[in-house]
Structure 1
Amino acid sequence: MPSLSPLPFLLSLFFLPHLSLSLSLSREGLSLLQAKNSLADPGDALSDWNPLDSTPCNWTGVTCGSASLAVTSLDLSGLDLAGPFPSALCRLPHLSFLSLASNELNDTLPSSSLLGCSSLAYLDLSQNSFVGPLPTSLPSILPDLVHLDLESNNFSGDIPPSFGQFPRLRILSLVANQLTGPVPSFLSNVTSLRELNLSYNPFSPSPFPVSFANLTQLRILWLAGCNLVGPVPPDLGRLSSLVNLDLAYNSLSGPIPESITGLSSAVQIELYVNSLSGTLPRGLSNLTALRFFDASVNKLSGHLPEDIFLAPNLANLQLYENNLVGLIPRSISRCKNLADLRLFSNQLDGPLPSDFGKHFPLGFIDLSDNFLSGEIPASICDGGVLSELLLLNNSFSGSLPQSLGRCTSLTRVRLPNNRLSGEVPPAFWGLPHVWLLELSGNFFSGSISPAISGAANLSMLLISDNQFSGPIPEEIGALSNLFEFSASNNMLSGPLPLGLRYLTKLGELDLHNNSLSGELPQRILSWKKLSQLNLADNDISGGIPPELGVLPVLNYLDLSGNRLSGEIPMELQNLKLIEFNLSNNQLSGGLPPLLATQTYQNSFLGNPGLCGEWTGFCPSPRGVNPDRHVFVWLLRSVFILASLVLLTGAAWFYRRYRNLKKAALGTDNPEWKLTSFYKLGFSEEEILASLDEDNVIGSGASGQVYKVVLGNGETVAVKKLWGTSKKNDIFQSFGDGFEAEVEMLGKIRHKNIVKLWCCCTNLDSKLLVYEYMPNGSLGDQLHGAKGGLLDWRTRYKIALDAAEGLSYLHHDCLPPIVHRDVKSNNILLDAEFGAKVSDFGVAKTIGKGPKSMSVIAGSCGYIAPEYAYTLRVTEKSDIYSFGVVILELVTGKFPMDPELGETDLAQWVCSTMEQKGVESVIDPRLGLCFEEEIRKVLDVGLLCTNFLPPNRPPMRTVVKLLLDVAPVNKLKPPLKDLNPSP
């Protein structure tokens, strides 16, 4: 017998175990590996899909049957996988559940890619980037399908007729795609349907399909934003199993049919933002399961029916912005579960029932902008859960009930512009959770109670235009969160409390037209966020504290009509003031040189002892006393000597401070890393040495901003990002890829994007060094007291500049960049009022498709509706936000202006134009010289804020539309003569 060679034998011992392991992996495991190889997996989410395993049952997302170990379920949602649909998954013969939701799958979805998936009962491909038509053969390929979710993709074209042939389908969701054609009536053939959601697609105008009434097993019907027109068909009442009906954001007209009261199982009915008219149907009390009814923003008229409040489970009733008249029925007191009532912007009148709120758990009430009268019921908070009380712009009278002082659940109270009177209950001032207390425009009297110290959460205290008297209590200094205190046009007296200087978050202080006396508070360096100070028309005396001149963001200062004396501090010329008035005081001496310009020529009138540079401003001297000359010379000599001593001491102190600052910041720490994107004329040491509180010019969610004047005379803005202890940490927004994101932003080269010079980082701090924009933000300029300085030509040029910056981000960057926080405060203005987009703290690259985020980023009033709904990041979100900026430029209003009530700016513009015409929304400060251009730009803003994302034009088109309004070569230089050099 021949002898065996030892080498092959040893090799076989080594390879056979691995070969057997590979061969032991089931065919299903190999199919899964093939599917993995067809996908991009940037996060390595499928790293445990190991070909050496004997079974795939323990792999991420894989579930096997307990007996056969066959793959029955695959959930790969939210793993950032990219590529086409992995057709290899259809080689899993027992696969019944497949979810690939919230990934970045793209390409088309042909029917052939799903061949072999005949066992699927559940298919979820939502929130991806699939394009092209819906697969027409889906019903025949997937006969057992029960759940189909294709929401938030880019499928286009008509819904194929074959979709009416699913034999067992119960749930169909096609929301937020780009589907066209009419809403198809043939879907009524799928009689097994329990849920049908076609919302937010740009369907062609079509009536509500009457045949949908045949879907008798339907529990959820969502057709919001589907371009439905015509009446709501009476046959809708046949859907007796319907639990949730949403027909909002359409163009439905006519009355709400009486048959809707036949929806006996309905819990939620939403009919808002249509053109429905007529009266509410009687018989709503038959809806015994109804908890939520919203028919707001229609043209409903008539009285509120008594029986609407007899629906035993009604918890949420929203009928705002209609034409409802008459009384609020007394039957409301029998509505045992009512928690949310919104009837604002109607024509309701009369008093509230005396037991209003006594028998139901009212949490939110908004009856603003009606003609309601009588007293506020004492029982309004008897349920103990009232959080928001909004009764503004009515005719309520009498005093505030004492019971409101015990309503500790309140967070927001708005009662302005009524006829309320009497003293405010002391306990009401100190409600612990209220952040907004607005009592302006009433006849309240009495004093502000010291109990206000208990209002620890109070941010806005608005009590102007009343008859409050007495001193402002010292206890107001305990309100550490107070941002705005407005108490103008009252009868307050006594000195300003010293406690005011402890309010470190104070941004606006308006106490004009009172009887306040004493001197201005000293040591106010803690007012780092104060932008507006108005103490005009009081009886304040003494000097102006020099500390006012070092407040970093103060741009509105009115101290006129007092008894202030002495000289104007030189420090005031450091301020960038858009409103400045020291008129009608007793000031004397000379003017600070930078304030002696025509810009402020009306700021010093009525001060007989004040010298200026204009003819007739100071009385001419009649003679010269030589002894006075000698005295003045001696006085100046002493002053010069003292100044030299002071400057020498200050220089020594500054050097010591700078050395200590360097040590504290770690400038000698070798861990500091400078990443530059341009050739720099400065070092990180020069930047770090200037980061002290005196140079702070702003603070936001992502960090604090400093103005730094370099040794070469240039000025930069330095953003120091908050540390990791901050809730809104910028590092969390950027994630682990902070350096990569900053490098990407550093490569941006565009005239309408703020230039990022460099960044400095170490283990504890991150600094971003930007070019300095001397005219601040568009928000400051537009909404400040001198917003009229922004004439139409300037506003138009700002809109065009910002549009070009965003167009560059969306269309010229690879990958494209979505800003996610476009707003007027993030559009900065250079010395010539050229606009540049800034603050990329939450910007994201979107690669080949949209990306879903875990939280909403952005600012209130600017966030696109679908973004809040889907958390889906696309460039359409930026376009909506930019549209809001255009509406700001045209109207001059804030996106969430108190004058708008509870609606945002986009809704207000649309409804006001419809009711009163376009002239009523244009900022009256603009005049009528450019009315045609303003109308065209307004149309662009309305296009950008279209409710349906597909209907919003891309930014390139926005730029072209704006250019078509007024060609650039016809533009006049903005603000050319408004700010001449001194």
Structure 2
Amino acid sequence: MRLSLILALFLLSLRATTLSLNQDGLYLLQAKRGLSDPTGALSSWNPRDPDPCGWAGVSCGGPDRRQVTSLDLSDSQLAGPFPLFLCRLPYLSSLSLFNNNINTSLPPDVSACRNLTRLDLGQNLLEGAIPGSLAAIPGLAELDLSYNSFSGEVPPAFGAFARLESLSLVSNLLNGTMPSFLGNVTSLKKLVLAYNPWTPSEFPSQFINLTNLEVLWLADCRLVGPIPESLGSLPRLGNLDLSLNRLTGPIPSSLAWLKSAWQIELYNNSLSGGLTLEFSNLTSLRRFDVSTNQLTGAIPGDLCDLPLSSLNLFENRFEGSLPESIALSENLYELKLFNNKLTGSLPSDLGKNSPLQSLDVSYNQFSGEIPENLCAHGQLVDLVLINNNFSKTIPASLGKCESLYRIRLKHNQLSGTVPEGLWGLPHAYLLDLSENSLVGNVSDALSGARNLSVLDISRNLFSGLVPDGFAPLTSLVEFSGSHNNFSGPIPGSLVELRRLSKLDLSNNGLSGEIPEGIKAWNMLNELNLANNKLSSEIPSEIGSLLVLNYLDLSGNYFSGKIPYELQNLKLNLLNLSNNQLSGDLPPMYAKQVYKNSFLGNPGLCGDLPGLCPGRSDGRRKAKSLWMLTVIFALAALVLVVGISWFYCKYKNFKKTRKVATMSKWRSFHKLGFSELEIAGCLKEDNVIGSGGSGKVYKVELSNGEVVAVKKLRGVTKKEALTFESEKDGYQVEVETLGKIRHKNIVRLWCCCNTGDCKLLVYEYMPNGSLGDVLHGSKGSLLDWRTRYKIALDAAEGLSYLHHDCVPPIVHRDVKSNNILLDGEFGAKVADFGVAKIVRVGNGEEQMSVIAGSYGYIAPEYAYTLRVNEKSDTYSFGVVILELVTGRPPVDPAFGERDLVKWVGATLNQNGIDNVIDPKLDASHREEITKVLDVGLLCTHSLPISRPSMRKVVKLLQEAGSGSNKTRIAKRDGKLSPYYYYEDDASTKINHASEDPVRSMKEQGSK
């Protein structure tokens, strides 16, 4: 009673100050008072207005058109509890708070919003149980609670919804049994339960009652057993996704009755057997995707008889030939069959009757000629035929196909000359003709390919001069022409390519000098001119190419001295062997590790065995004595500094050894413990780790839970000045982890900032860090399957930070010690103390200091402090190399190199068998090799050449396609299930939208 009186007095006083604002406006102002609005999204809510109908997010209607009927505050960064005052709006029918920071639990009183027909609370920070009282809202037709942290079971009361048409619970922590009682809600048209850790169960038989269902998305729901025949009784089902489960058996023939289906996706399951659908009944089917399974047998002819627009059968075990009838489809724009065992030739009329845009049949055993009519409609964009047995010549029609962007014909048996027009296609950015038997000259028409970024014509039989028409190709990044029969000089126009990153013309018959002006190659990373007939001196300008990592000029006729300017470079590989060089070695390279780089040059002298052997050993002895003196002096200095440091730390320890007062305690989840219990367990006996930022304690709580507590050390005044432009690690970690909800990101339960210390309480990861396990005594526990799963889990966590957080988050300290392992060796990314939120337009941040750990820091730090997501990609690539090699990022055995340089050099000199960890089972060699390739791609010296983390996830998934068990590993719940492949046999990207929740809503409306 008193509360009602106080509320009435408050509203009266508020009305007195706002004069004419109507009652709905007063309710909205009261709701605003309970929310934090850091971006001013509600700044237009002016209490002096007569009504709220002009306010941001407000729509009006009702009897006099001044009542609030709809409120959309999506993407406003609002924080706080659910504003129950909104339920007092008598005409409110639609409420959307999508993508905000609404936290705590959802109160049962939300059922007071009696007139709602639509409630969207997706992508917030809500947790706890879902209130069953929502089912009491009589007219509710659309309910979206996706991308929160709801846990437990779906309330049984949800089976009593009267008018619900759309229910989305995607990507929460719901761990009960699959809510089969939802089969009672016969009004449902869209049911989305994907990406929850449900208890493993078979497909709920009650769902066959949902005869109005149009969209059913059950990806990653731990479904087991067969796909039920009963699914065929859902007459309106047009969108079915059962991916990422553990379903077995064939696709049931009953699905043939889904005549309205426009998309069926079953990829990435454990499906086995063949395609048993009666495709003749699917007369409305336009897009068919059963990719990434273990389906076998031939491609059904009646499937290819349908009027398909998209057919995706990639990554299966299909055999036999492609039915000729596929060429008769008038709608076909996409055909992707890569990674199967298909044979025979492609239909000769393929593309003749349809607007074909994308054709990818890579990694099969197709043979015969490339069809002439692939670009008959002038719309072909992607042509990817790598790793097959296609023979004879390239069709002349492809030289006229100006729509082509990407042409990959690598590793076939093509012969003859290349059509003149193919060299100069105006839109092509990738032309890969490598590993064939093509002959003739490279046409001068190449100068017309102004969009070309990658040109690979290596390992063919091309001859004549390398054309001097490269100047217009300002976008060219890579040019590989090795292992051909080119002769004559290196064209001077190559020097004008300022974006060139790789130039490989090795193993040809080139002669003359290296052109002048190569200092313009300021982005060149690899220069390989080995095994030609080049002569004269090595130009000193090479020393100005500061990002050059690989330099191979071996097997030529270079003479004179080695330029001392080469000491400016930080090379992973240097090879000047088998030339006619003379004089002294530059001091930097006068070391045993570089010996092989100079062999075969009789005139070279240096302090290396075999070079200038007549030189006196006196100089070496004096040098050794001087080095011993320096070592003893440094040891003494380290001892003094160490004692001083220990004394200071001991004083600080005594000074801060008291129970913390929990005056600034903040939780991000519902807790079952108190702050005082945490403080009482911070004893030295409980320390499980320590680092530069502080110590980590294992705390066993009275309720049986175990948590990890990181106690951060204080920041000195000097450090505060040094890092004045950046937030301290505690604040960064709290702001970052407090908002993140992802299964591959370590969970921050709560935090505390007192006057004496700062505490961060995390979920406990019983297997510790990847670095400790991999390089410690427990390394034998990590077999290849486990290592692969760890790599994929960590990649998905980083992909979430880079692509699904708004704005993106750069971790800046990715390393194996910051990847933690749970009880089942699932990986989670941790330690966000130096993470950075990227806010500027170009996706980069100027850092005041270098962040990261030695051995993981990207090479661009050598010449810039600008950092973006590609810096994390490099560091993650180092982690992949650790998993493959079993070696740490830095090791005395590497000499002056780090792991990246060691892997590169070892691969070039000794082959892959000397790189792979000998503890790994050799039966996985092919898969390990593919993952190693991903690591090498991630550690490319130029950021622009590294893949995004989203692409890394897909590359790893492709690399592990040989093991379906690993392909069912955890996946980023924020990725939509609607994909197409961007690269040959590699990157799946979101086909619908960058926003997966909205993507699903759009799909459901079709």
Q: TM-score range by the shorter chain?
A: 0.5 to 0.7
Look up the match of 1:946.
Answer: 970
Alignment-mate amino acid for residue 532 of structure 1: E
Instruction: Tell me, in whole angstroms, the C-alpha distance in 1 between the residues paired with 2:15 and 2:930.
Output: 82
The yes-or-no answer on 1:274 pairing with 2:287 is no
Alignment-mate amino acid for residue 886 of structure 1: V
1:619 CA displacement: 6.9
Instruction: Tell me, in whole angstroms, the C-alpha distance in 2 between the residues paired with 1:274 and 1:488.
Output: 42
Preserved CA contact (<8 Å) 1:38 1:83:
yes
The yes-or-no answer on 1:54 pairing with 2:35 is no
Q: Deviations 1:303-357 (Å, cap 9, x if unpaired)?
A: 0011112222x21111111110000000101111111111111110000111111
Percent same amino acid among aligned pairs?
49
Instruction: Tell me, in whole angstroms, the C-alpha distance in 2 between the residues paired with 1:816 and 1:577.
Output: 29
Instruction: State which of 123, 130, 133 in structure 2 corresponds to 1:137.
Output: 133
Instruction: State which of 576, 581, 589 in structure 1 corresponds to 2:583.
Output: 589
Look up the match of 1:169.
Answer: 164
Look up the match of 2:562.
Answer: 568
Preserved CA contact (<8 Å) 1:802 1:835:
no
Look up the match of 2:342.
Answer: 348
Report matched runs for 1:389-408 at 5 Å: 389-408=383-402
Matched residue SS, 2:518: coil
Q: Measured at CA, do residues 814 and 607 of structure 1 come closer, stay the same or move farther in structure 2, by a change above 3 Å? A: closer
Report matched runs for 1:707-856 at 5 Å: 745=726, 747-748=728-729, 802-804=815-817, 833=855
Instruction: State which of 886, 889, 908 in structure 1 corresponds to 2:882.
Output: 889
Preserved CA contact (<8 Å) 1:218 1:242:
yes
Q: Measured at CA, do residues 925 and 371 of structure 1 come closer, stay the same or move farther in structure 2, by a change above 3 Å? A: closer
1:288 CA displacement: 2.3
The yes-or-no answer on 1:339 pairing with 2:333 is yes
Q: Measured at CA, do residues 861 and 828 of structure 1 come closer, stay the same or move farther in structure 2, by a change above 3 Å? A: closer
Look up the match of 1:116.
Answer: 112
Alignment-mate amino acid for residue 522 of structure 1: E
Preserved CA contact (<8 Å) 2:367 2:390:
yes
Instruction: Tell me, in whole angstroms, the C-alpha distance in 2 between the residues paired with 1:181 and 1:587.
Output: 74
Instruction: Tell me, in whole angstroms, the C-alpha distance in 1 between the residues paired with 2:142 and 2:459.
Output: 59
Look up the match of 1:426.
Answer: 420
Q: Deviations 1:206-229 (Å, cap 9, x if unpaired)?
A: 111122122111111111121111
Instruction: Tell me, in whole angstroms, the C-alpha distance in 2 between the residues paired with 1:833 and 1:192.
Output: 58
Look up the match of 1:369.
Answer: 363
Instruction: State which of 132, 135, 142 in structure 2 corresponds to 1:147.
Output: 142
Q: Deviations 1:231-281 (Å, cap 9, x if unpaired)?
A: 111111111211211111111110001111110000011010011122213
Instruction: Tell me, in whole angstroms, the C-alpha distance in 2 between the residues paired with 1:17 and 1:154.
Output: 39
Please list every run of 5 or more consecutive structure 2 residues that lacks an aligned counterpart in the other structure.
1-11, 617-720, 734-773, 780-786, 795-812, 821-827, 886-898, 904-918, 933-959, 976-1006
Preserved CA contact (<8 Å) 2:816 2:879:
no
Report matched runs for 1:142-221 at 5 Å: 142-221=137-216
The yes-or-no answer on 1:28 pairing with 2:24 is yes
1:40 CA displacement: 0.6
1:610 CA displacement: 2.2
Look up the match of 1:435.
Answer: 429
Preserved CA contact (<8 Å) 1:802 1:836:
no
1:28 CA displacement: 2.0
CA root-mean-square deviation? 4.1
Preserved CA contact (<8 Å) 1:134 1:156:
yes
The yes-or-no answer on 1:92 pairing with 2:89 is yes
Preserved CA contact (<8 Å) 2:111 2:134:
no
1:589 CA displacement: 2.0
Single out whichever of 227-236 and 58-67 deviates more from structure 2.
58-67
Instruction: Tell me, in whole angstroms, the C-alpha distance in 1 between the residues paired with 2:374 and 2:295.
Output: 27
Look up the match of 1:525.
Answer: 519
Report matched runs for 1:853-892 at 5 Å: 858=869, 886-891=879-884
Preserved CA contact (<8 Å) 1:317 1:341:
yes
Matched residue SS, 1:187: helix
Look up the match of 1:760.
Answer: none
Report matched runs for 1:349-748 at 5 Å: 349-618=343-612, 620=614, 745=726, 747-748=728-729
Instruction: State which of 94, 102, 107 in structure 2 corresponds to 1:105.
Output: 102
1:521 CA displacement: 1.1
Instruction: State which of 75, 79, 89 in structure 2 corresponds to 1:78.
Output: 75
Instruction: State which of 284, 287, 290 in structure 1 corresponds to 2:282.
Output: 287
Alignment-mate amino acid for residue 75 of structure 1: D
Q: Measured at CA, do residues 409 and 471 of structure 1 come closer, stay the same or move farther in structure 2, by a change above 3 Å? A: same
Preserved CA contact (<8 Å) 1:93 1:116:
no
1:476 CA displacement: 2.1
Q: Measured at CA, do residues 40 and 21 of structure 1 come closer, stay the same or move farther in structure 2, by a change above 3 Å? A: closer
Q: Measured at CA, do residues 836 and 593 of structure 1 come closer, stay the same or move farther in structure 2, by a change above 3 Å? A: closer
1:745 CA displacement: 2.8
Instruction: Tell me, in whole angstroms, the C-alpha distance in 1 between the residues paired with 2:224 and 2:512.
Output: 66
Q: Measured at CA, do residues 559 and 238 of structure 1 come closer, stay the same or move farther in structure 2, by a change above 3 Å? A: same
Q: Deviations 1:806-842 (Å, cap 9, x if unpaired)?
A: 88x98777898668999xxxx9999974769998999
1:115 CA displacement: 3.6
Instruction: Tell me, in whole angstroms, the C-alpha distance in 2 between the residues paired with 1:814 and 1:592.
Output: 42
Q: Deviations 1:571-604 (Å, cap 9, x if unpaired)?
A: 1122111211111111122222222111211111
1:508 CA displacement: 0.8
Preserved CA contact (<8 Å) 1:539 1:563:
yes
Q: Measured at CA, do residues 108 and 23 of structure 1 come closer, stay the same or move farther in structure 2, by a change above 3 Å? A: same
Instruction: Tell me, in whole angstroms, the C-alpha distance in 2 between the residues paired with 1:924 and 1:128.
Output: 38
Single out whichever of 581-590 and 502-511 deviates more from structure 2.
581-590
Preserved CA contact (<8 Å) 1:387 1:412:
yes
Instruction: Tell me, in whole angstroms, the C-alpha distance in 2 between the residues paired with 1:517 and 1:52.
Output: 83
Preserved CA contact (<8 Å) 1:188 1:215:
yes
Q: Deviations 1:281-303 (Å, cap 9, x if unpaired)?
A: 34324322222211111110110
Alignment-mate amino acid for residue 802 of structure 1: K
Matched residue SS, 2:726: helix
Preserved CA contact (<8 Å) 1:195 1:221:
yes
Look up the match of 1:43.
Answer: 39
Please list every run of 5 or more consecutive structure 1 residues that lacks an aligned counterpart in the other structure.
1-15, 623-739, 753-790, 844-856, 863-880, 898-912, 927-937, 952-982
Q: Measured at CA, do residues 32 and 816 of structure 1 come closer, stay the same or move farther in structure 2, by a change above 3 Å? A: farther
Preserved CA contact (<8 Å) 2:857 2:875:
no
Instruction: Tell me, in whole angstroms, the C-alpha distance in 1 between the residues paired with 2:923 and 2:254.
Output: 36
Matched residue SS, 1:416: coil
Alignment-mate amino acid for residue 283 of structure 1: E
Matched residue SS, 2:519: coil
1:383 CA displacement: 2.3
Preserved CA contact (<8 Å) 1:327 1:351:
yes
Preserved CA contact (<8 Å) 2:815 2:853:
no
Instruction: Tell me, in whole angstroms, the C-alpha distance in 2 between the residues paired with 1:487 and 1:617.
Output: 34
Look up the match of 2:254.
Answer: 259
Matched residue SS, 2:288: strand
Preserved CA contact (<8 Å) 1:883 1:943:
no
Q: Deviations 1:696-724 (Å, cap 9, x if unpaired)?
A: xxxxxxxxxxxxxxxxxxxxxxxxxxxxx
